[in-house]
Amino acid sequence: MRVCLDPGHGGIDRANRGPTGYVEADGVLDIALRTRAVLQAVGIEVVMTREKDTYLSLAARTDFAAKQKADLFVSIHTDAATTPTAHGCTVFCSAHDSESRRLGEAIEQALRQAGRPSRGVRTRQLADGRDYYHVIREAKMPSVLVECAFHTNPTEEALLKTPAFRQLLAEAIANGIRAYIGPQISDLVPISLDGELLPVPGRLINSVTFAPVRALAEALGLIVIWDDKKRQVELRRR
């Protein structure tokens, strides 16, 4: 599974700012880099449309995701409004793709579970019915656009300027992506002990190999005890 993270704006596109100096292009890049770290830690492959303060056209972003053969596209932004009281997160998905909606719902739920006020999972369309946002309309894979908070709201801008809040957002976005993907279970993995295959193979889940406890422990001469009350495996030497 390969996820493309798209930090919005950047380079010459730095006009979106909060009232006391927060710059959307910088904030969302930091959130995206943190999201990548969380996903990579559990074995999910991540590519990014930008890793520094550079400008990319909208077409370049979706073209990059297609060339990288990404399975998902998540564009990360912070929101703006004419009223300073507007607050919360919004996740935009495609009006025409059920997988885009499912991805959006998973991320929105994870953001709510992290304590973010939510404005819901929404669609936005052009007059002809096509999706409004280029990164959703032109992506060749399930795509969403996440508005993490309102940088025009003084309270949320102050939060966005803190590393702890950006980390919270990153972990929530990553958790939503993980919930959408589900366990990544590959083929069975043969396990050998001193050159002899164990009777039961292991499994590779999210790039971590899980071995069958009983087969491995008994091959090592250990006693295996299952405690049903504690829901716990105990290994004892003979």
What is residue 201's predicted lDDT score, i.e. its pLDDT? 84
Domains present along the chain, CATH in parentheses: 2-181 (3.40.630.40), 185-237 (no CATH)
Reported as a pLDDT band with limits 50, 70 and 90, residue 227 is: confident
State yes or no: pLDDT of 103 exceeds 90: yes
> How far is residue 122's CA from residue 32's CA, in Å, rounded to a whole number?
21
What 3-state class would DSSP assign to 89? strand
- The token pair at 159 is 């939060």
| 84 has pLDDT over 80 | yes
Specify the pLDDT at position 177. 98
To the nearest whole number, what is the mean pLDDT of the chain?
94
pLDDT at position 100: 98
pLDDT interval class at 183 (50, 70, 90): confident
Closest by Cα among 30, 33, 28, 61 to 46: 33
Most confident stretch, 73-87, 172-186, 192-206, 223-237: 73-87
Per DSSP bridges, beta strands 2-7 and 72-79 are parallel
**Whole-prediction pTM:** 0.80
Average the pLDDT over 177-198 and give the result.
84
What does the pLDDT read at residue 187? 67
